[in-house]
Structure 1
């Protein structure tokens, strides 16, 4: 699963900057960033933060979107509030089957650039949050689905979900919630896979090519450490130091 993220401004601008178009980046800063919640040092998907996504329709210039996919067939605001807590993640194995995700899987895929994500480990009667990130310091690029939803007043809201897959061995050690079925992790793409995820689907072969991208990211390319509590009275909020390492002696050498 992936319900907690970190996304700095520079990380979110990474793909746009690769074009070398200074005027485009300036436009993003002036026109889009004020409508986001960036920088996000920690945000829960259940707070439905606004951030940038890169869609198949605009792969180099981002769109502001709300976390929690709202399918186009949702009728009203009440329907939005009812569904979007259940569409923060989409299981990659079934995105072409589930009614909430099928259309987006076929037509509306996107990329989400993050510094990393947080996951909780269960040990004894307590939970301990871990921050997971790339060892090489590069952004984590997640596969996502997006949807354009129209309010009754004609306004448009772009929303997205993070696609998940089976957890790699590191995530299996961390993501051990006994109430959930199997370890999961967000679908992290390599640089070579990013454009493949955004490529249009015109036939069964194209769909198969997208499905083949849905697999765990190598654990040897990721690092993790425990951080301060992300829930309850001890939670410090969306502050820069929230992703810094905090040692819990009771965990001892659990992952060493």
Structure 2
């Protein structure tokens, strides 16, 4: 197999539990990948504008944000698919039946939360997203929404996905990020779709791609590529969904696989 593109999720996959990565090792690997003409792509639930800042040392890197709704490159700029204002209002009306959940509206630049939301939730969102705005009413937000970030009780996650799926059919799709969190994304907007668009743009087929992930929001991406690699820290139910399993994110599983299985071949 000739590899021309490598895509990886961020949290729980490329990043360790401290939210960082082995920068020295990655710099060497990235330089070798580019020398060989292999694209390295970040595919994350984070906003693309955050990703491009986080990886500012690699201006030629392609970035998929918003779990597939955003595609960005420093030279090409940002393209984004967003919910219609009507869809946003319909979703907020549906979510109003669940006062126990915490909601963040994620635009392409700003993330909006209720000013009276749980302080811990606001702090977490502030750590996860760069630009946070607190508002009195989410229904008054006029920013175009890429996705909804929802935090709930861990035991409630599966039931919430089960209930919201039919309620939001045709409007939004619940994508669990693990027990206690989920995104509501636009129908058909996922990392696999974004990889297909990017591949078409770059002239790279799915059979020339490898992808890494650890959560259910990575499934479409793992299934789209020739080799889907699941992290050793992923739940066992996820590990059976890929073609192979690598070391954990704490053991630099992505870099280990690239060096051993791609660069040494």
Q: TM-score, normalised by structure 2?
A: 0.26
Q: TM-score, normalised by structure 1?
A: 0.27
